[in-house]
Every structure is written in C-alpha cells, then in structure tokens.
Structure 1
C-alpha cells in the first residue's frame, strides 16, 4: 500500500507528522504551497513542492517543483490530491488542511470526501484531531482509548445504516443527514470502537 503525505500551510501537529515521517510511514511527501515552510521547520525535504506559491511568497529552488498560476479553477490542495493519485497512492494523509481560513477548511473537507468516494483512503490531521472519511458500504475501527471525543457527521444529504459501537452512545443502523448536529461529541470508553455506514459518506473526527 502506497501512502503519500500532503502538507499544506495551516497549523497541524508537527510532532505527529515528524514521528510518522521518521518511521517511514510515507512513500512520498508533497509540500503544498506554504506547507514547504512547515516541512522546513521539521527538517523534512519534500519529494515535490507544488502550488501557486502565493502563501509561501517564493518558488522553492534546488528540488522538484510544479508551479501553477494563481488564476486557476482548482485549489493547490486539489491539484496535490490529483498528483498523489497520479503517483499511484492508495492512501493520503493530509496535514495543514484544517484551521486558518474557514473557506479553505470547508473546501478541503469537500475535496477529501470527493477523493474518498473515488476510492482513495484519505484523512486530515489537525493539531488535536484526525478526520477520516468513510464511504459506504464500509467500516472504521478505532483502538481502545480511556477517553476522547469522537464525532460523526454525514457529508452527503443522507448517510444510511450508520452504526456506532464501543462508544458511550451507540447507534444501530440509523440515518444521519447533513442538516443536523446529531453525531456530535460521542465519547471513547476504553474499548475498541467500530463505526460503519451502508451508504453515503461520513466524516469521523477522532483524537489524534
């Protein structure tokens, strides 16, 4: 399984990234515009830097670069996700896609859901949480933790057959919509948890 890390310009848990990178968890690391500076801060030289570089303020030199005009229909993150697919990635871990400008965060959540629906295993890593995207029919298993918040939201109009097991509040085959807060702030209870969905796309927020 090939895993690519994309690193954007927003804040993320740099220690989490550095630990996984040093363990060899990523087959490639791609800096997305201002993410180049974030990688430099942890002494990581990416395999590729790409974007319009309006956030970074300059085009990196002495390495592989794909530069784009700021006047384009796709965001830098969307272009980076397409690049990961072109490289044969099965999974993508996205850092620096949450926080900062709210419109960028919403765009990134929509993008990641879209690429999950295309068969890519995608997750976004923030400062304190990880967001996995679960497309039905499918399931996600979480390791036992003594505490922690898990929230599950539908990113499609309806996600049917949603199951939550091993959490404080269980769900058994319910339908979630993208017009409700139902799914917010469930709790880990020190046992393995399972989240499943028959149809639709879920965003699963979990402790990092």
Structure 2
C-alpha cells in the first residue's frame, strides 16, 4: 500500500507525482494544497492555524475525515500525520512531500522523524521527497539502491554513529569503516543502475538529488 502525506511546504517544491496513491493525507496547510492541485483528500489532520476561515471550510467540506489538533501540543502536525498513517496502515510505504524548503527547525524535525523510537521500526518504509531530493532510510543490513530517473547525485548520510559501513558500486567506494558521529558522504554518484552498501549498527539516510 502507498500512502502520501502532504505537509505544509509550498507545492512549488513538490516532485512530479506520476503515480497514484492508495491514501492521501493532508497535514495542516498541506490538506488545502492537495485540494488546490486536484488530488483526493482522505484525511486532513493538524491544528490548521495556517489556514484562513474560508480555506479551513473548504478542507472540512472536501475531506473524508478531519482530525483537529490543539495549537499547543507536544507533536508537530507532521508527527501527528505520520502517527495516524502508521497506526492505520502499518505495512504501507509512506511518502512525505511538502516537508522541505521552509523553516530549518521544521526541516530538521522532518528529516529526523525515523530516528524517533515510535517510528524507527518503520524507517525503511518512510520516504521524504521534493523536486530536487529523494530521501530513504535504512536500518542495519545489506542494501541495494536503484537509481532514480534524472537524479545525478548520491549521498550516504549517517544519522547516528554507524559501524562497519561499506559502500560499493558507487563512484567513490568506502571500505568497511566505523563512523563515530553524524556524517554525510555527499556528492557520490552511481556508476550503473544500482549501488550497494551495508552497515552493522545505526541508521543511514540515502539521498538521491539533482541540481
């Protein structure tokens, strides 16, 4: 199953959405953006403090379900949306758009979502995507990355200390190495349609990107 979560970042930064999804979740202003771009709206969630009265009314009328959150809360709206998606569809792949391009505190909160203990078991099914970047998350093991169309660059980002990291079949390979702090092995490239990497402990984000 494929779930699309749309946060409140500008649609100008959205990727090209060529495939349909099984469930569309609008997070705060992201719900209104879904409607404005002629997408379905299965669930709207958030405090909706970024919407005008008229915009909120449009969302209420169009969505299949609305969850109103208080403005003062422990979780961000995106965290609430991800919680709902995982609770309802625990086996789904969850793609998040509208999560980049704005405030840095929101960006970091979104990029770090899979590090949270409640989300970590689902990390490999969480994707953050915008018009320039596609972020996937990996837990320990051996992994194969498939090159996406039009994406030139490849980065292996250690979000935590990582042990026995090995990068193969990339332009810049890495022999088995322990990484003691958060580190981005940036500006790598594919040399074929796939690249391999492995590690024993920690979490790694792989970013495919273009200029």
Q: Distance in 2 between matches of 1:128 and 1:77?
A: 20
Matches within 5 A, 1:121-132: 121-132=125-136
| Aligned positions, number | 200
Q: 1:50 aligns with which of 42, 45, 49?
A: 45
Deviation, structure 1 residue 199: 1.2
Deviation, structure 1 residue 47: 0.4
Aligned alpha-carbon RMSD (Å): 2.2
Matched, 1:78 2:79: yes
With structure 1 as the length reference, what TM-score do the two structures score?
Answer: 0.86
**Per-residue Cα deviation, 1:82-116 (whole angstroms, up to 9, x for no partner):** 10111123221111111200000001111133365
Cα contact 1:153–1:176 (8 A) shared by 2: no
Deviation, structure 1 residue 7: 0.4
Cα contact 2:168–2:197 (8 A) shared by 1: yes
Deviation, structure 1 residue 39: 1.2
Matches within 5 A, 1:71-150: 71-90=72-91, 91-114=93-116, 117-120=120-123, 121-143=125-147, 148-150=152-154
Deviation, structure 1 residue 14: 3.8
Cα contact 1:116–1:134 (8 A) shared by 2: no
Cα contact 1:165–1:193 (8 A) shared by 2: yes
List gaps (5 residues or longer) in structure 2: none
With structure 2 as the length reference, what TM-score do the two structures score?
Answer: 0.85
Cα contact 1:96–1:126 (8 A) shared by 2: yes
